[in-house]
Chains A and B, each alone.
Chain A
Amino acid sequence: MTMSTTPESLSAKQKELEKKMTEERSQSHTAPASLASVAQTKVSRPAGAKRLGTGLEARGVHAWFGKNHVLSDISVDFASGTVTALIGPSGCGKSTFIRTLNRMHEFIPTAAMAGEVLLDGKDIYAPGTDVTKIRLKVGMVFQKPNPFPSMTIGENVLAGLRLAQLKSTNKDDLVEECLIRAGLWNEVKDRLDEHGGALSGGQQQRLCIARSLAVSPHVLLMDEPCSALDPGSTLRIEETISELAESMTIIIVTHNMQQAARVSDYTAFFLSDGGPGEMVEYGKTSEIFSNPKDKRTENYVTGRFG
């Protein structure tokens, strides 16, 4: 893949963003202060935007794999219109937690959970719940970009409609809207009939985001969406996240402290000391990065361990 296909408008936009980020970085002097300032310089989102759903709430969530207790008593309220970052070292249960939020957890044969997850006030684990409808409302973007290789770019965007047997009156408009929101439209508008596998990794990931947007979810779960991408693509996706957060609830797992500081409004720090993963601290991102209450949080966000 060469970058020559990138339209100029896009690269200009990208440069502008990069410039903004460099400025943000130059404002700070030491590493911890840098993160704190990044976390504080975020532009607040307009309050009047139309929001989908009222958010997602986890109440006393525990998770097991067989007899192994991996997640202990997590309670978080994710409000609509916010981005929450889940941070913590590997193996602390972040991904497991995020997978309990759209019932992907139960695909692992020995997996079990306890507690409640309320989507717009209703428990998604309640008996008689149609799990496919839950997953329509709680979309997910995975660590590795996974477009369907047998479908074209356009078909990939509409895959959710096809899979859930939903009808759409104007598919072309929907494809365009979703690709624009995912920040991919300019790059692929002339080759919607090509196969998704021909895109670069970053483009594939944005295609996956567009795909999850097509079924208009209320909540978007992102499990380390940028860990396999280059900085440029990461930047594009972070920009996308900020735009999306105006209308929906976003929960993002990340190992990148800078990213957590840049994109999130709230941050939850997870940790496991050999036992089940626990949520050590939860609060406003600016607080977590500038003035953490727990010593372990401070050590982690300042890079002293993990």
Chain B
Amino acid sequence: MICSSSVHPFATPDCDSCPKMRLMPAPQALADAPNLPKPRVITTEPRLSDKVFRAVVTAGGLSSLVILGLIAVFLAYQGFEILVTEGLDFFTSSKWEVITDEYGDVVSYEFGLAAMLVGTMLCALVAVFVAIPVSVASALFLSFYVRGKLKAILIGSVDLMAAFPSILFGFWGFFVLMPRAEYWAMLINKYLGWIPLFAVDERVFTRSPFLAGLVLAVMIIPITTSVAREVFDQTPLDRVQAAYALGATKWAMIKAVALPYGRGGVVGGAMLGLGRAMGETVAVYTVLNIVYDINWQILFGAGGNIASLILLKFGEARPLEVQALMAAGLALFLLTLLVNFIADFIVKKSGKKGR
């Protein structure tokens, strides 16, 4: 643990690398005791080069926050009118229609996002549930089972896959996965149909949230794997050796040491994947049947997600509908933020136990 004195001036009181900072009592407590000198105010005067560098990295760090904030403000400003007129209905109703007369003037309109919100969550959850086991398994394989050149090649290709254009996943899902997945969906429905989640009212299995979730899963497996592998690779060697020295098999070592250590990384990777899955547009648009009705049946060929709705409608939208799409965008933005906060909370709650 390195704790150079130059760290202190910028360290927060609970900085992990500065145990002394935490042990230091509050100045008031010291001042109360008699016959003790007053604690000195400790300051450092950074050099010019330090100041310049600090300004540069601060600007860099803040810029992403500022851009994010501006996007949120822009979406809220554009969608404000729709949000006010639709009110809560915007999130609870599922109708999305604009009725115009023959001159193209809007006669009446109704914008509801409920079906898309449900669809977004369903597809993303299917994706994450499929992706996590596969990703954890491949990350463990890359970290603990494969060595040398093969390892380098595999890691390279996984990282490459993470940067693969999503339209190609969409194509592959449409032409290759869809015909086969339809059959799998039928099988799941036949044997597990008694579980409400896998039931269908009508036997339409194409272009279902399940299928879109599978395509999304393939899309997010690389990023989730990549993040999890990086954490597993940092498993402290002394603990790994301690486990082996106690007669552990590789699997026992992984269970006792690597998984507890890497849990945070796995959750973090899954959340990155979930975020990507919720915001994914093109791949979902290609393989999902967009229907404006709430559908909880993941095997049934109806659904949608917010991003693909925006893609579908934006091209022909008139100004009023564009505003509604902006509001939908804001909803997606907030949903993603919420999921990330929850994930962050889970990671912190599960804590540094295994660390």
Contacts and interface: CB of A to CB of B under 8 A. Distances in A.
B241 A163 contact: no
A142 B238 contact: yes
B238 A146 contact: yes
Given A146-B239, A165-B252, A135 B246 contact: yes
A190 B52 CA distance: 54
Contacts of B69: none
A148 B245 contact: no
A164 interface: yes
Nearest to A214: B246
Contact of A142 (B242, B256, B261): B242
A208 B246 CA distance: 10
B252 A149 contact: no
A136 B248 CA distance: 8
Contact of B256 (A104, A159, A195): A159
Contact of A144 (B238, B244, B260): B238
Contact of B246 (A109, A164, A195): A164
A102 interface: yes
B248 A164 contact: yes
Contact of A163 (B148, B253, B354): B253
Interface string B339-355: 00000000000000111
Given A163-B253, A165-B252, A150 B245 contact: no
Given A142-B238, A146-B239, A150-B353, A135 B245 contact: yes
Nearest to B148: A109
Given A149-B353, A149-B354, A132 B241 contact: no
A56 interface: no
A140 B256 contact: no
B82 interface: no
Of the four ranges (under 10, 10 to 19, 20 to 34, 35 or more), the interface on chain A belongs to 20 to 34
Contacts of B242: 142, 146-148, 208, 211
A149 B247 CA distance: 18
A159 B246 contact: yes
B98 interface: no
B257 interface: yes
Contact of B247 (A144, A147, A150, A160): A160
A107 interface: yes
Contact of A164 (B238, B247, B261, B355): B247
B243 interface: yes
B147 interface: yes
B92 to A, nearest CB: 44
A183 interface: no
Nearest to A195: B353
Interface of chain B, helix or strand or loop or mixed? helix
A248 interface: no
Contacts of A165: 249, 252
Contacts of A162: 252, 256
A243 to B, nearest CB: 21
Nearest to B355: A149
B244 A104 contact: yes
A215 interface: yes
B245 A132 contact: no
A133 interface: yes
Nearest to B236: A146
Nearest to B253: A163
B239 A212 contact: no
A162 B246 CA distance: 10
A14 B224 CA distance: 53
Contacts of A102: 245
A139 interface: yes
A140 B260 CA distance: 23
Interface string A82-117: 000000000000000000001010010100000000
A167 to B, nearest CB: 14
B78 to A, nearest CB: 48
A136 B354 CA distance: 24
Nearest to B260: A150
Given A104-B244, A107-B241, A107-B244, A148 B257 contact: yes
B264 to A, nearest CB: 12
Interface of A: 102, 104, 107, 109, 132-133, 135-136, 139-140, 142, 144, 146-151, 159-160, 162-165, 195, 208, 211-212, 215
Given A132-B249, A133-B247, A164-B252, 19 more contacts: A132-B247, A132-B248, A135-B244, A142-B238, A142-B241, A146-B242, A148-B239, A148-B242, A148-B260, A149-B353, A150-B261, A150-B354, A159-B243, A160-B246, A160-B247, A163-B247, A164-B246, A164-B248, A211-B242
Among all A-B residue pairs, the 7 with the closest Cβ atoms: A163-B248, A136-B247, A150-B260, A160-B246, A140-B245, A150-B354, A164-B247
Interface of B: 147-148, 236, 238-239, 241-249, 252-253, 256-257, 260-261, 353-355
11 contacts: A136-B246, A146-B241, A148-B239, A149-B239, A149-B354, A151-B256, A163-B248, A164-B249, A165-B252, A211-B246, A215-B247
